[in-house]
Chain A
């Protein structure tokens, strides 16, 4: 199972958390495609809290966090 956490405007019309069944080779690109999110709209892509690359294969149990461009404090 892959847990995907969505933040900010990515929540519009979607759930806060979405789950994907794990299969060998599943990656960030596949997940974005299924969620109908464009790659260029993603500002921060984290795999278990670390910066990830969309094309890298994921592991079973990974948590993904997706953010659009966001601000400072």
Chain B
């Protein structure tokens, strides 16, 4: 077996036992691996109506066939489960080194099922697997947990864990690996917490077998060259990290300010990649075998050196809270990593709370004991509330449920800037029509990395298209969503797609695994994965009426800046999208489409 490790580790937490199963290679190739294969197994094994925190929900941690190989960026893994935030199938994705290490230990994926009656952690050293008592780790922050486990099991192990937010079932809790890399979205950390699993420690020495070692060497060298010569992956991302986007998005007038009440600010440069590089950057913080190295390592005000904020984080705690203090944002980011919180959902939930306060729904009385204000622009407050959310203290307990449930509790769910109850990221869709369609149709709820339309609509990759036009957008979104499903399933980083396309991914898969994918068949696998996720959500009761955007973005024109006057025109885009997907006009996949994609 090439590329794939060929084994699945299934852990039954209820009985405290595990077994190792053989990978079904035919099924693996049909769904590629990673996101695709984990979703297929989840679909087959879990009732879509399962309560996310019940023992019957499962949590799958999966690598792809290219994880742990010499293919650049092959360090990624995904977490698939039913999300407690959205009720949809969740697939959160992370970099760092854990994924590659798990593969080297000989496993394509770990399936966690049942529920332990006490806190445990799992150790994997190649073939040796143990479930250990974790009482001494429960309640500890991510860095404390990781340090302790490295002390117990050796400096070389890789650690994936949850922080207090996951333990306390915050619906915006993340799974964190390697101290500061996050499978952030959809509350996957809370599902791990609900199973009483604090951490997974892994050490692998087996490596991955390659189908054609000589060819892999040549093809990998060629792809690295393409990544280095591309302006985005060779220059923009390495120099400034993802934070380089702050000024770009703001200059286009699609940088949401104060919970999407505005979309442009004169102060963006204060929280930009340029400012981060000048003022707080220590060095780059790259993931496994990555020539891009967009990760940052920064110095906090008190001198501590920690993982730095991404673009989304700079926006969520920055402009979305109307805060332009890069030190405060870097600190809030740090506490998200320590408590195990998703930075997008945490920052934007604080922003939503600030609007609830501004509009008089939340009264001073409710927050007076917490010691922090909910005024837009309060830099100290974003740090304070992050810690309160992580610990579920005071008003932070309400915010730990995410912005939708928070706003709903005050009778104004429309103030939550979310889709399928998951908070939207850092691009106002009123000024990027394709990207808005992507938000509305994303299978995991509000999300930018299921089909990153900013690439063609703003950055001009692979070609520039008119951001306000509706023409061709449905087709673009479908291709981007399908290609992204492929990349997430291979175990590679989405950022490679600025330089590589479907032919490159098919070629990499084939030389590593000995498969015979073409650009067409690999994209079809992406479409199969997308449609399967859709089916799960439909069965889970998330009907197509949930393919929507917050009312504000459909009805209120952007009030100022370069995209002034625009709203999102979703209703004009959706019918075409359903059509190009081969779904009926109501948004359900047709029998013919399911047959063509060989789903049922």
Contacts and interface: CB of A to CB of B under 8 A. Distances in A.
Interface stretch (A22-30, A31-39, A43-51): A43-51
Interface stretch (B154-162, B247-255, B584-592): B247-255
A66 B440 CA distance: 31
A8 B312 CA distance: 18
Contacts, number: 92
Query: Which of A7, A49, A70 has the most chain B CB within a 10 Å cutoff?
Result: A70
Given A72-B232, A73-B311, A73-B312, A43 B460 contact: yes
B459 A70 contact: yes
A7 B464 CA distance: 20
Contacts of B232: 69-72
Nearest to A9: B239
Contact of A71 (B242, B448, B562): B242
Contact of A68 (B235, B273, B562): B235
B426 A73 contact: yes
Interface of B is mostly: helix
A69 B274 CA distance: 14
A16 interface: yes
A8 B244 contact: yes
Interface in B541-581: 561-563
A73 B310 contact: yes
A59 interface: no
B495 interface: yes
B251 A49 contact: yes
A50 B294 CA distance: 27
Interface in B388-429: 425-426
A11 interface: yes
Contact of B231 (A7, A11, A43, A51): A43
Contact of B498 (A9, A16, A51, A72): A72
A56 B43 CA distance: 55
A29 to B, nearest CB: 19
A46 B562 contact: yes
Query: Which of B242, B248, B458, B494 has the most chain A CB within a 10 Å cutoff?
Result: B248
B448 A7 contact: no
Nearest to A49: B562
B79 interface: no
Contact of A70 (B240, B269, B425, B426): B240
Q: Report, as a range, how many residues of chain B touch the other chain.
A: 35 or more
Query: Which of B253, B274, B426 has the most chain A CB within a 10 Å cutoff?
Result: B274
Contacts of B459: 43-44, 70-72
A43 B234 CA distance: 14
Contacts of B239: 8-9
Contacts of B253: 49
A70 B448 contact: no
B237 to A, nearest CB: 4
Contact of A44 (B235, B248, B264, B425): B248
A49 B458 CA distance: 11
A16 to B, nearest CB: 7
Nearest to B312: A73
B245 interface: yes
B563 A49 contact: yes
Nearest to B235: A69
Query: Which of B230, B231, B269 has the most chain A CB within a 10 Å cutoff?
Result: B231
Contact of B244 (A48, A49, A51, A71): A71
Contacts of B231: 43, 68-70
B518 interface: no
B116 interface: no
17 contacts: A7-B248, A9-B235, A11-B274, A44-B458, A49-B251, A50-B562, A67-B251, A70-B236, A70-B248, A71-B240, A71-B498, A72-B452, A72-B494, A72-B498, A73-B310, A73-B312, A73-B426
Q: Which 3 A-B pairs have the closest CB atoms?
A: A49-B562, A69-B231, A71-B237
Given A8-B240, A72-B498, 13 more contacts: A7-B248, A8-B273, A49-B264, A51-B464, A68-B236, A69-B236, A70-B237, A70-B240, A71-B240, A72-B454, A72-B494, A73-B311, A73-B312
